[in-house]
Structure 1
Amino acid sequence: MKIVVIGGTGLIGSKVVARLTQEGHEAVAASPRTGVNALTGEGLEQALTGARVVVDVSNSPSFERAEVMEFFETSTRNLLAAEAAAGVGHHVALSVVGTERMPDNGYFAAKIAQERLIEKSGIPYSLVHATQFFEFARAIADEATVDGEVHIAPVRFQPIAADDVADAVAGVAMGAPLNGRIEVGGPDQYRMDEFFREALAAWGDPREVVADEGARYFGSVPGERTLVPGDGARLGQVSYRDWLARDPAR
């Protein structure tokens, strides 16, 4: 069947397209690079013709509060309208574990707004809530750096490989709509400051990691379980150590 992947040339999207293609589906990578822009609506009608499933793994180019809200609300409205016109029967969206537990975070608030639009659209849907990707660990450490020290909240943390996220998203896309959500996380749970202490050591990064209960995660202070999935979550197969070992340059 034809499955259109919005954001299909990005980190997760390209992996989802590859997995769906391997399973024999007509997977279409849709992004501004391929002439499809959900934010402006450009190319949506043509791309969605004949599609049975749409997977949205697109992301905002800005994390500034107003801009990220504008991105997810506008692109999702455009996408849902085009899906309704094309008769798409399943909308799959990638979101973040803990969105509802940290609504003061601008990015999380925008993802909540996106999910509400999807839930009210009348189109059968599935939401995949994932924890933080291994691939973003350096960016998290850099964002948390103050005067050369990495200030990290001592809360639970369960990051996941992008490959495992893509497997989960592709699996959901090939199945029946959940009309609800699943959560996915990595195979190992850490205390967040301990994870980054080990990670920086593995990178050969000399910065000191400071356990700081007031440390912010992209603008908000996370609670003990804000960033980890609940019971029954699907767990990935790749550990962080194994992920690093596959490519030492990481």
Structure 2
Amino acid sequence: MRIAVAGATGNIGARTVATLERDGHEAVRISRSHGIDLLKGDGLDEALSGVDAVIDVTNGPATDPMEAITWFTTVTRNLLAAEERAGVRHHVLLSIACLYRVGGNAHYAAKRAQEEVVTHGPVPWTIVPATQFHDFAAMVAGWTEHDGAATVAPLLLQPVDPGDVAEVLAELAVGEPRGRYADLAGPETQDLVDMARRTHQAQGRTVRLIPTWDGLFSTEMAGKVMLPDPGNVRIAPTTFDQWLATQRSEPAPSTH
């Protein structure tokens, strides 16, 4: 199949392209570095010619709510309109598990708006709500790190491996549209502060971590709020320890 990946050069996008090509599919890379501007729609018609399915793993601004909502909805509408013109049969969107339990987060508000555009759009769809990735903790700590210290909220998560996410996206893209798919999560529950500590240790870094809710995440995410629905979850195989083994003295990759 000919499958396009929007956000093809990112953490998940690059893995998804590699997975598709490994399985014998033709992967079309959609990104600014490949001459395609999703905000303007430039280059989309040419890129989507003959494409059977599109996997959207794009990521945008996440701090200002209106800026984030405008970015995600504009990009998604442009993508869906071009897909309709090209006769694309399946739109697969990577989203976030527990998205509707958290109100005061700009990124979550934007992803909810993006889902609305997809569910009411012209192309049959599958939405894959994934938990946070294994590299999320180091990224969060990096946002606040200063003078050897970083603040990290004591979030309880069930993180998933980026490679496993790519495998599931590729698998679903070649099938029939599934609507809203089960939550995609890793096999174990983890504490975000401990994840950051262990990631830094594996990478040979020393960062003093300060557990606090006074920062990027609010107490509305406390307890089991960020854990997937146990009655509607697909458990990916790779554990956090297995992912850590690949991180020895390597910098944490960027993620969403």
**TM > 0.5:** yes
> Match of 1:224?
223
Q: Conserved in 2, the CA contact under 8 Å of 1:130 and 1:183?
A: yes
SS at match of 2:181: strand
Aligned-partner Cα distance in 2 for 1:144–1:100? 26
Aligned-partner Cα distance in 2 for 1:154–1:61? 24
Aligned-partner Cα distance in 2 for 1:9–1:30? 8
Q: Conserved in 2, the CA contact under 8 Å of 1:187 and 1:235?
A: yes
SS at match of 1:143: helix
> Match of 1:132?
132
> Match of 1:245?
245
Alpha-carbon distance, 1:56 to partner: 0.6
Alpha-carbon distance, 1:205 to partner: 4.0
Deviations 1:150-186 (A, max 9, x none): 4433342122221111111111111111112231122
Alpha-carbon distance, 1:146 to partner: 7.6
Deviates more, 1:54-63 or 1:88-97: 54-63
Q: Which runs of 5+ in 2 are unaligned?
A: 251-256
> Match of 2:158?
158
Q: Which runs of 5+ in 1 are unaligned?
A: none
**Runs in 1 of length 4+ with deviation above 6 angstroms?**
none
> Match of 2:68?
68
> Match of 1:52?
52
Q: Does 1:94 align with 2:94?
A: yes
Q: Conserved in 1, the CA contact under 8 Å of 2:148 and 2:206?
A: no
Q: Does 1:178 align with 2:211?
A: no
Task: Count how many residue pairs are aligned between Structure 1 and Structure 2.
Answer: 248
Aligned-partner Cα distance in 2 for 1:22–1:149? 41
SS at match of 1:134: coil
> Match of 2:254?
none
With structure 2 as the length reference, what TM-score do the two structures score?
0.87
Alpha-carbon distance, 1:244 to partner: 2.3
Identity of aligned residues (%): 36
With structure 1 as the length reference, what TM-score do the two structures score?
0.89
Change (3 A) 1:9 1:15: same
User: Any residues of structure 2 matched to 1:7-156 within 5 Å, and which?
Assistant: 7-61=7-61, 63-145=63-145, 149-156=149-156
Change (3 A) 1:150 1:226: farther
Q: Does 1:199 align with 2:199?
A: yes
Alpha-carbon distance, 1:147 to partner: 7.8
Deviations 1:88-108 (A, max 9, x none): 111001111222111210000
SS at match of 1:110: helix
SS at match of 1:3: strand
Aligned-partner Cα distance in 1 for 2:62–2:154? 27
Aligned-partner Cα distance in 2 for 1:188–1:12? 20
Deviates more, 1:185-194 or 1:139-148: 139-148
Q: Conserved in 2, the CA contact under 8 Å of 1:2 and 1:28?
A: yes
SS at match of 1:246: coil
Aligned-partner Cα distance in 2 for 1:59–1:153? 22
